[in-house]
Structure 1
Amino acid sequence: MMTAMSVLLGDYPHTRPLKDGTVPVPGVECAYAQASPLYSAFARMVRSLEYDVCEMALATYFQAREAGVPITLLPVAMIGGTHHGSLTRLPDGPRITPRELAGARVGVRSYSQTTGLWVRGVLREDYGVESSDVTWVTTEEPHVAQYREPENVCRSGAAKVADLLRDGEVSAAVLGPKAIGNQGAGLVPVLPDAQEAALAWIDRHGTVPVNHVVVVRDEVLAAAPQAVAALYEALAASIAATADQRDASPAGRAVSAGWSDPFVASVRIAARYAQEQQVVREPIDLDRIVKDVPFLDA
């Protein structure tokens, strides 16, 4: 008997073999959903459990887990990369150093956006700027409805984060990788020698920041663990089959499946950053998260 499963994954080279059937999912009939932009599906997943399996931003997963949303993390890094270049400013505007952001206003799509989490972690770790030192001006609410933002977070009526910067509402803006090349065209990094600093971060931590993971509804995992395992194994096979399509850049190295040391290290660092920034209020028990996946060993 086939198990029907609704699945929302982004369109990447490493998901294409899965979606086109080149890599089969034995015993599972997958209905692949679409969402544009992709992150719009994350709120629907954590608020109404719209899909059986769903790609999800790592910070959203942390918040959903703390809020008691019945989902389980599967150890798949769908996308990732460094974000030292994600903190931007106007090329012809006043130069501002990272430490001068203390007391300033910085734009970000949502306070719980994972790119913002990584940027704030770098500011604290490398420049001594706490997340609470900055007023974070957002254009969107969090995906997790139960989450309450810190007092130093405020909402703007602007449609895009880059508009906040160009309209003079903020001194700098955090933009994700896709936004950098679109609404952020022409902006420049705030952090000095951003590319070199990013590679130094990777060398220091032995990992690449993970942005998106995969989650499964607990009800589905309990009722059909073999089907979930089959889908996970097929996704892992799809990632392995497309390894030659990824380069040695941080983004290429980030994509993975399994509880590898780099993946665990990245999630552990993100979990620490999340608590330091009040993205979550309680410590995240990664050992418990690992044990929640019955068909995988760490």
Structure 2
Amino acid sequence: MRIVLGDYPHTRAVKELPGHEFIEFKPLPPAFARMVRTLEFDVCEIALATYLQARDYGVPVTLLPVVMIGGTHHRSLTRLPDAPALAPGDLPGRRVGVRSYSQTTGLWVRGLLREEYGVNAADVTWVTTEEPHVAQYTEPPYVERSAAEKVGDLLKAGDVAAAVLGPRAAGGQGAGLVPLIEDAEAAGRAWVERHGTIPVNHVVVVRNAVLDEEPKAVDALYAALKEATAGAEPPVAAGWSEPLAKALEIGGRYAAEQELVRTPVDVAEIERGAARWSD
């Protein structure tokens, strides 16, 4: 199989499996678009929002119940350190930068903004630097595309009041930025306690045709991922679980509220598709 997985401690041993072609992407997100647009790979790690949108538009892939990365995102909503103080509740009517409106970090940030601060997605103009991975998706009218290359550039140019930057950008273009949410770590822990799950960012999908034609190969890959993720820090894990179901339910609800998907996300249907890998 042709397989795309990110570079993590829990994937290094998996990539030593014989008989497969493991394709490396740095950065990883361009692989997501190629997977959902052309089915270029047999198995591919993709962002949760990309999976939900691909499913919504009938892209023939099945979720492997494997969480590759995740975490809370209260610290992902940022501003320049020398900018005027800005609270999350002040965002209606303002412009906020985000790599793509369908970026999963943005999905989780907009969800917490609505839940905790009463700020709806449509209350803000979302300024993006990249298009969605799923080509069929049309962004809502409160989304704009910028010619800037990076979200951090939007902040520095004064084009946005705040920016959504994922954890991997924190040490790069996000270095030195200040979270809008005070005591973001404590707020993230409170979110997890309230919801009984941790936000999921990346999952794994398999082409339906490959699953039909080579089920044993897919099962063997899943088994290797399950062994490799055993003992990893949550939410990284393999296997259907209540926390995964809750993360899919909440993420799916957020996606519908934010006009990322057209129809409600049926978690029970996703679980039925992944039943062969249930413990």
Match of 1:272 in 2: 253
Match of 1:219 in 2: 209
Match of 2:11 in 1: 15
Match of 1:111 in 2: 101
Aligned residue type for 1:17: A
- 39, 48, 54: which one pairs with 2:29? 39
Q: How far, CA to CA, are the matches of 2:265 and 2:211 in structure 1?
A: 21
Aligned residue type for 2:35: M
The alignment of Structure 1 onto Structure 2 pairs a total of residues equal to 279
Q: Secondary structure at the match of 1:124?
A: helix
Match of 2:277 in 1: 296
Q: Normalising by the residue count of structure 1, what TM-score does the alignment of the two structures yield?
A: 0.92
Map Cα deviations across residues 240-290 of structure 1 (whole Å, 9 max, x no partner).
1xx3xx5xxxxx321011111111111111010000000111101111111
What pairs with 1:128-277 in structure 2 (closer than 5 Å)?
Answer: 128-240=118-230, 243=231, 246=232, 252-277=233-258
Q: How far, CA to CA, are the matches of 1:46 and 1:168 in structure 2?
A: 34
What pairs with 1:12-91 in structure 2 (closer than 5 Å)?
Answer: 12-21=8-17, 29-91=19-81
Q: Normalising by the residue count of structure 2, what TM-score does the alignment of the two structures yield?
A: 0.98
Q: How far, CA to CA, are the matches of 1:184 and 1:294 in structure 2?
A: 40
Instruction: Tell me the CA shift for residue 183 of structure 1.
Output: 0.5
* RMSD after superposition: 1.1
Q: Is the 8 A contact 2:65 2:277 kept in 1?
A: no
Q: How far, CA to CA, are the matches of 1:238 and 1:297 in structure 2?
A: 17
Structure 1 19/190 Cα, relative in aligned 2: closer, same or farther at 3 Å?
same
* Structure 2 stretches lacking a partner, 5+ long: none
Q: How far, CA to CA, are the matches of 1:296 and 1:216 in structure 2?
A: 13
Map Cα deviations across residues 187-211 of structure 1 (whole Å, 9 max, x no partner).
0101122111000001111111000
Instruction: Tell me the CA shift for residue 294 of structure 1.
Output: 4.7
Aligned residue type for 2:12: R
* Structure 1 stretches lacking a partner, 5+ long: 22-27, 247-251
Q: Is the 8 A contact 2:78 2:162 kept in 1?
A: yes
1:286 equivalent to 2:276? Answer no
Q: How far, CA to CA, are the matches of 2:219 and 2:115 in structure 1?
A: 37
Q: Secondary structure at the match of 1:236?
A: helix
